[in-house]
């Protein structure tokens, strides 16, 4: 066993707990984790999945199949471990990134996907009261 390669934390390295896809993260999601997730997402995921996770990445202009939007209800309902496992092992069209993206970075990407899902499907009732004036300013600017 190579030094640093003993992986006893199944959740962290497989996305599963008791052989079931986990709903939770193996560490606390912080702003730094989300920032790292955004950085890794922009590099590895956005070309296909788009910068907001809607499946409208630049590669579809070149004939690639449009990925399912992360905002579809069935995708929002998937546990966090589903995304981790998919990033690790790939799918029919999506390549496996397990060898290219470190486990903690895969979790950071999953956290960022969750943030995208929340941002694209939120309503004003979910916004903290002290942040509502910022939304109103942004809405005025975009009109």
d(CA 111, CA 120): 14
Question: What's the distance, Cα to Cα, between the start and end of the chain in Å?
Answer: 60
Determine how many CB atoms are found less than 10 A away from the CB of residue 59. Answer: 16
pTM: 0.84
Does the pLDDT value for residue 140 go beyond 60?
no
Tell me whether residue 139 is in a domain.
no
- Average pLDDT over the chain reads 89
d(CA 109, CA 100): 13
Give just the sign of the alpha carbon dihedral 104, 105, 111, 113.
negative
Quickly tell me which residue has 């990407």 as its tokens. Answer: 109
d(CA 39, CA 85): 19
Tell me whether residue 133 is in a domain.
no
Q: CATH number of the domain at 40, please.
A: 1.10.760.10
pLDDT digit string, tens, across residues 90-130: 998 899 999 999 999 999 999 999 999 998 877 777 778 88
CA nearest to 110, candidates 97, 123, 99? 97
Tell me whether residue 113 is in a domain.
yes
pLDDT digit string, tens, across residues 13-61: 999 999 999 999 999 999 999 999 999 999 999 999 999 999 999 999 9
Contact between 26 and 11 (Cβ < 8 Å): yes
The number of folded domains in the chain is: 1
Tell me whether residue 24 is in a domain.
yes
Residue 8 is predicted with a pLDDT of 73
Q: Who wins on pLDDT, 84 or 126?
A: 84
Tell me whether residue 55 is in a domain.
yes
Q: Which domain holds residue 65?
A: 10-122
Tell me whether residue 5 is in a domain.
no
């Amino acid at each position: 066993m190579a030094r640093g390669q003993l992986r006893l934390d199944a959740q962290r390295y497989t996305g599963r707990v008791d052989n079931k896809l986990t709903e939770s993260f193996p560490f606390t999601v912080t702003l730094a984790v989300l920032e790292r997730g955004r950085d890794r997402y922009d590099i590895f995921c956005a070309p296909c999945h788009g910068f907001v996770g809607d499946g409208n990445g630049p590669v579809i202009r070149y004939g690639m199949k449009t990925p399912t939007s992360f905002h579809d209800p069935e995708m929002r309902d998937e546990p966090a471990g589903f995304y981790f496992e998919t990033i690790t092992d790939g799918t029919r069209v999506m390549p496996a990134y397990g060898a290219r993206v470190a486990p903690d970075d895969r979790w950071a990407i999953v956290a960022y996907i969750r943030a995208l899902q929340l941002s694209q499907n939120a309503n004003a009732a979910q916004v903290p009261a002290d942040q509502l004036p910022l939304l109103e300013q942004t809405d005025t600017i975009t009109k």
